A and B are shown apart, each in its own frame.
Chain A
């Protein structure tokens, strides 16, 4: 019902007044994203997003924004990349080598230092509120562009969750895959084919009288879900979740941990047509013992993401797939008594690649100790606007909650057009 109400486009008794009101609030006086897109030819090319989320607050100074020689640098060294003058942390040789394919934003700023609120901001573009739940970017995209994959949900979350479909409702909900190595939960029939067929035959007969009596939309919707799911579970499509179909060397190239395997699964999903895949990577809240914990984790993603880029290129999907790597905030350049770094919302870094992004560049700059943004600040909203623009979403189009409140994708953020080619 909630979903249906969203699609109710005729002017109903209340929505009429609301729409009038929204117009009166000046929501249409914003710069048009279409103009912005026209200015940059590669924007709007992305059909898929692989959204890698570093939960807990990834340290910026030890990854994408090293400050060699600064008193805040700690034990992390810096190495050259393929682009003269741009350095990355020494734990990231693979990404340094493929730097021509990636763009780094070093000037992100966050409004809060609390994990929950900051993660919500980052992934929805909105401030968390007990009055309304906002969708993630996969949900916004599905609402604006329509369903992309014929059977699978358009948004799939691997390795843990983030903000869900919010006010958009269940048909926009992400499909959770808790462990990429164990496939899609509940997708295996516990009985042999013959027994399954007997069950299904009987089920069809048993359903008959109820389906004849009740011809409501909800009943029809469930019958369709059953048909689609049964088709899907017995089709080759299901194999997309089965990483055993991959060569051992491919699996190894991504990294044997859950994170690497999740990246591999994300590529398989994108290849099958899924629009938005979120890959979770937790454990970044390093308040202590950072130099025993960070190097391995940083290298894990450097290697995995570099492999993902190569693989997407080999599949011909790199230009249509935007890779985003981000987190809720950075970590304090000052090192604390426990050899760790604390929450640092003032500045942090993120990475973009593929999907129309021009690689080999850095946007924004922090000061000499990586304490604050010095040049070209990028707000969380601007960052979301950039992702949305890569997908070709209209940032001025009002999207209504079931209560009739108007929302804009990326919350009036301005896309960073120089990231596109």
Chain B
């Protein structure tokens, strides 16, 4: 205690920071030394504590043990008006700390006379690379900013008209904030963020329902898009996914549990990975080797879903009505010279009605359970292994209680998970990597611990609005910088040594590439006629009183049902979110790494030979060059001077004007001297530029 006070008094400073005052309590530092004091301020990484004798001491936050550090961070208020600036400050502090640290290491290395010179040079080169990555990159130009936010928020490059519209709006940060707002409220954002969520949640067409019939699972995709459009708070959205019940067309959120139908244990693992960033799959078979989760915990948690049922008694009643009418239908079919059995495809939809009516306690420990705390085949009662205990009796179903526990602010991993994932969505690397394996203790694991805790509070402050959270990130100066010029090494990321001088340079996702090329070729990529939506029509078809309806009506419904969501053509010029999920093998989206939607975040941005061949010679490249819309090709051909035509092509593909030398190269590819010139070769070249493929 004495030593600690002495250490602290050495760094006493003047105090003028207003901060949420706390109660007098015990604080412990990383070495276990304790002090009784009251929190009175925090700024620039320094905590101010007032001791009982009135003396105020300041010392670095990182010297406190993790729980006390959290206490400091959680007591700080958040001002949404300055949140973007606050994040920039926290980033800057992280970069500064790292820079000082690296310089010290370098000095120590240079002073070391014992070390082998080759080793020293290797180490110096490594430190130099790390030092480079502590310097923020250049701020983005308006053109580069525009291209980045269109790709990141709208999921595609801006069209020529959109480019002109923004660049002519004058200067200043207000127009940037306005564009961010505009894009977050656009239909393009719904499409792009849906691609992200469908990769995370594995939203796909034709979820296998174990032979239960022809379910139009696209209704679930429609519902997810609706939640994005209305900015449903993330915690409410997740609660819906875990607790929805009913028929697919009434309650499309049941799609989440249907995705893993019959594999409830795997679904539980997936739920933890997706919504808490916690990997517990291994606990299905044995105690987790390095987290505090035992095999028995896994089965206790699975027990929350133990009475999940796929068909309810209400269902039986309905099928009973259908059964009782079958004779009438058969007669109607005979009169119409049709086969009544065809109607079975329609009736099959009623076979799935998600509920909680299965017998209790069906979750049992496996036959080979080997630990002392349970017996093979023992029935499990629901229970959780971290966070607040759950009172099942208070909720209308155990899984509802579980959903509320999962999404509660007090769940230590729920908020961290989503802010970590969204940070990665915006900056390319998460605060904690890998995102699906957040360790129990975050101390020393995050790239910037203070920032992560700040983001957690920010998410609570915006009431889990994904849009508002993203809005803050997109408005930071850090986001609005040129992408990192070099890549952080894996060991830097692994050791939490990358401090975000800027977003990293990312290849466009499969969907961003596809959607960008669609935007160059069609008049309005987000037009409602380019959307594929079935939810309302599906609901209309399936809402029928089977006691009263006629064969003709049923037949009519069947025909409409069979037409629903038919999307056999993978190459329609629609946005990727409106095409079959996933696209089939051999398509453009497949080649560029679209997720197969079977495994969480299974999309890829790695390069392959078929990708290059697609861009060099593929049908999409040719479609862009020969598009007959009012977009790029038409606009360029309408210009009387080749120079103006070249400008249009550059602005449409790269969102910027050519540099003088680039204009010279471009001219070699455009024959003729004006109206009607063929820009195909130039379009081909720009689509194959590395610059087109990356978000700089």
Q: Mark B664-696, 1 if CB is under 8 A from A, else 0.
A: 011011000000000001101110111101101
Smallest distance from the beta carbon of B257 to chain A beta carbons, Å? 12
**CA A222 – CA B689 in complex, angstroms?**
10
Residue numbers in B under 8 Å from A245 (CB-CB): none
Q: Mark A148-170, 1 if CB is under 8 A from B, else 0.
A: 00011100000011001000011
A236 proximal to B (CB < 8 A): no
Binds A, one of B55-63, B381-389, B602-610: B602-610
Residue numbers in B under 8 Å from A186 (CB-CB): 610, 613-614, 616-618
Q: Mark A351-392, 1 if CB is under 8 A from B, else 0.
A: 000000000000000000000000000000000000000000
Contacting residues of chain A (194-249) with chain B, CB-CB under 8 angstroms:
195, 198-199, 201-203, 205-207, 209-211, 213-219, 221-223, 225-226, 228-230, 232-233
**CA A195 – CA B618 in complex, angstroms?**
17
Residue numbers in A under 8 Å from B690 (CB-CB): 207, 210-211, 214, 219, 222-223
Asked whether, in the complex, the Cβ of B202 is within 8 Å of the Cβ of A226, the reply is no
Asked if A403 meets B279 with Cβ closer than 8 Å, knowing A213-B485, A215-B485, A233-B613, the reply is yes
**CA A188 – CA B622 in complex, angstroms?**
13
**CA A190 – CA B619 in complex, angstroms?**
10
Smallest distance from the beta carbon of A132 to chain B beta carbons, Å? 7
Asked whether, in the complex, the Cβ of B263 is within 8 Å of the Cβ of A222, the reply is no
Name the contact of A152 in the complex, choosing from B487, B609, B668 (C-beta under 8 A).
Answer: B609
Smallest distance from the beta carbon of A7 to chain B beta carbons, Å? 9
Asked if A205 meets B289 with Cβ closer than 8 Å, knowing A3-B606, A213-B485, A214-B483, the reply is no
Asked whether, in the complex, the Cβ of B260 is within 8 Å of the Cβ of A130, the reply is yes
Asked whether, in the complex, the Cβ of B208 is within 8 Å of the Cβ of A178, the reply is no
Asked whether, in the complex, the Cβ of B604 is within 8 Å of the Cβ of A170, the reply is yes
Residue numbers in B under 8 Å from A161 (CB-CB): 585
**CA A237 – CA B681 in complex, angstroms?**
26
B367 proximal to A (CB < 8 A): no
B507 proximal to A (CB < 8 A): yes
Residue numbers in A under 8 Å from B487 (CB-CB): 216-218
Asked whether, in the complex, the Cβ of A403 is within 8 Å of the Cβ of B436, the reply is yes
**CA A188 – CA B585 in complex, angstroms?**
20
Tally B residues with Cβ within 8 Å of A: 75
Binds A, one of B69-77, B344-352, B488-496, B554-562: B488-496
Smallest distance from the beta carbon of A124 to chain B beta carbons, Å? 13
Asked whether, in the complex, the Cβ of B266 is within 8 Å of the Cβ of A190, the reply is no
Whose C-beta in chain A lies nearest to the C-beta of B694?
A219
**CA A173 – CA B585 in complex, angstroms?**
11
B95 proximal to A (CB < 8 A): no
A38 proximal to B (CB < 8 A): no
Smallest distance from the beta carbon of B302 to chain A beta carbons, Å? 14
Contacting residues of chain A (6-42) with chain B, CB-CB under 8 angstroms:
8, 10, 12-14, 17-18, 20-21, 24-25
**CA A70 – CA B259 in complex, angstroms?**
44
B437 proximal to A (CB < 8 A): yes
A111 proximal to B (CB < 8 A): no
A405 proximal to B (CB < 8 A): yes
Asked if A216 meets B505 with Cβ closer than 8 Å, knowing A176-B585, A403-B279, the reply is yes
**CA A207 – CA B685 in complex, angstroms?**
9
A408 proximal to B (CB < 8 A): no
A131 proximal to B (CB < 8 A): yes
B11 proximal to A (CB < 8 A): no
Smallest distance from the beta carbon of A181 to chain B beta carbons, Å? 15
Asked whether, in the complex, the Cβ of A185 is within 8 Å of the Cβ of B586, the reply is yes
Asked whether, in the complex, the Cβ of A116 is within 8 Å of the Cβ of B208, the reply is yes
B281 proximal to A (CB < 8 A): yes
**CA A223 – CA B607 in complex, angstroms?**
10
Asked if A403 meets B434 with Cβ closer than 8 Å, knowing A207-B691, A216-B487, the reply is yes
Asked whether, in the complex, the Cβ of B659 is within 8 Å of the Cβ of A203, the reply is no
B532 proximal to A (CB < 8 A): no
**CA A299 – CA B522 in complex, angstroms?**
50
**CA A161 – CA B585 in complex, angstroms?**
7
Contacting residues of chain B (608-632) with chain A, CB-CB under 8 angstroms:
608-614, 616-618, 622
Q: Which of B484, B487, B506 has the most CB of A within 10 A?
A: B487
Asked whether, in the complex, the Cβ of B485 is within 8 Å of the Cβ of A130, the reply is no
Asked whether, in the complex, the Cβ of A215 is within 8 Å of the Cβ of B486, the reply is yes
**CA A173 – CA B681 in complex, angstroms?**
31
Smallest distance from the beta carbon of A5 to chain B beta carbons, Å? 6
A337 proximal to B (CB < 8 A): no
**CA A18 – CA B607 in complex, angstroms?**
29
A129 proximal to B (CB < 8 A): yes
Asked if A207 meets B281 with Cβ closer than 8 Å, knowing A131-B266, A186-B610, the reply is no
Residue numbers in B under 8 Å from A184 (CB-CB): 613
A171 proximal to B (CB < 8 A): yes
Name the contact of A218 in the complex, choosing from B586, B688, B694 (C-beta under 8 A).
Answer: B694
Asked whether, in the complex, the Cβ of B611 is within 8 Å of the Cβ of A225, the reply is yes
Asked whether, in the complex, the Cβ of B602 is within 8 Å of the Cβ of A173, the reply is no
B139 proximal to A (CB < 8 A): no
**CA A175 – CA B665 in complex, angstroms?**
34
Asked whether, in the complex, the Cβ of A216 is within 8 Å of the Cβ of B484, the reply is yes
A313 proximal to B (CB < 8 A): no
Asked if A189 meets B608 with Cβ closer than 8 Å, knowing A116-B208, A219-B690, A222-B690, the reply is no
Smallest distance from the beta carbon of A318 to chain B beta carbons, Å? 29
**CA A129 – CA B284 in complex, angstroms?**
13
Residue numbers in B under 8 Å from A203 (CB-CB): 685, 688-689
**CA A4 – CA B433 in complex, angstroms?**
14
Residue numbers in A under 8 Å from B598 (CB-CB): 130, 133
Residue numbers in B under 8 Å from A10 (CB-CB): 491
Residue numbers in A under 8 Å from B445 (CB-CB): 13
**CA A313 – CA B495 in complex, angstroms?**
54
Asked whether, in the complex, the Cβ of A199 is within 8 Å of the Cβ of B669, the reply is yes
Asked whether, in the complex, the Cβ of A12 is within 8 Å of the Cβ of B494, the reply is yes
Asked whether, in the complex, the Cβ of A187 is within 8 Å of the Cβ of B505, the reply is no
Whose C-beta in chain A lies nearest to the C-beta of B612?
A229
A404 proximal to B (CB < 8 A): yes
Asked whether, in the complex, the Cβ of A202 is within 8 Å of the Cβ of B669, the reply is yes
**CA A213 – CA B281 in complex, angstroms?**
42
Name the contact of B616 in the complex, choosing from A12, A164, A233 (C-beta under 8 A).
Answer: A233
Residue numbers in A under 8 Å from B684 (CB-CB): 199
Residue numbers in B under 8 Å from A21 (CB-CB): 289-290
A402 proximal to B (CB < 8 A): yes
Asked whether, in the complex, the Cβ of B618 is within 8 Å of the Cβ of A17, the reply is no
Asked if A130 meets B599 with Cβ closer than 8 Å, knowing A17-B289, A161-B585, the reply is yes
Asked whether, in the complex, the Cβ of B494 is within 8 Å of the Cβ of A13, the reply is yes
Name the contact of A216 in the complex, choosing from B486, B596, B685 (C-beta under 8 A).
Answer: B486
**CA A230 – CA B609 in complex, angstroms?**
10
Asked whether, in the complex, the Cβ of A170 is within 8 Å of the Cβ of B437, the reply is no
Residue numbers in A under 8 Å from B439 (CB-CB): 14
Name the contact of B612 in the complex, choosing from A20, A209, A216, A226 (C-beta under 8 A).
Answer: A226
B326 proximal to A (CB < 8 A): no
Asked whether, in the complex, the Cβ of B491 is within 8 Å of the Cβ of A218, the reply is no
Q: Mark A304-328, 1 if CB is under 8 A from B, else 0.
A: 0000000000000000000000000
Asked whether, in the complex, the Cβ of A24 is within 8 Å of the Cβ of B266, the reply is no
Smallest distance from the beta carbon of B647 to chain A beta carbons, Å? 15
Residue numbers in B under 8 Å from A171 (CB-CB): 606-608
Residue numbers in A under 8 Å from B208 (CB-CB): 116
6 more A-B residue pairs beyond the given contacts A14-B437, A210-B689, with a C-beta to C-beta distance below 8 A: A3-B606, A13-B495, A170-B607, A178-B585, A190-B622, A198-B668
Q: Which residues from chain B sit less than 8 Å from chain A, CB to CB?
A: 202, 208, 259-260, 263, 266-267, 269-270, 273, 279, 281-282, 286, 289-290, 434, 436-437, 439, 445, 483-487, 490-491, 494-495, 504-507, 585-586, 593, 596, 598-599, 602, 604-614, 616-618, 622, 659, 661-662, 665-666, 668-669, 681-682, 684-686, 688-691, 693-694, 696
Q: Which residues from chain A sit less than 8 Å from chain B, CB to CB?
A: 1-5, 8, 10, 12-14, 17-18, 20-21, 24-25, 116, 129-133, 151-153, 160-161, 164, 169-171, 173, 175-176, 178, 184-191, 195, 198-199, 201-203, 205-207, 209-211, 213-219, 221-223, 225-226, 228-230, 232-233, 402-405
**10 A–B contact pairs at CB < 8 A?**
A2-B604, A14-B439, A17-B289, A131-B270, A160-B585, A206-B691, A215-B485, A216-B485, A219-B505, A402-B434
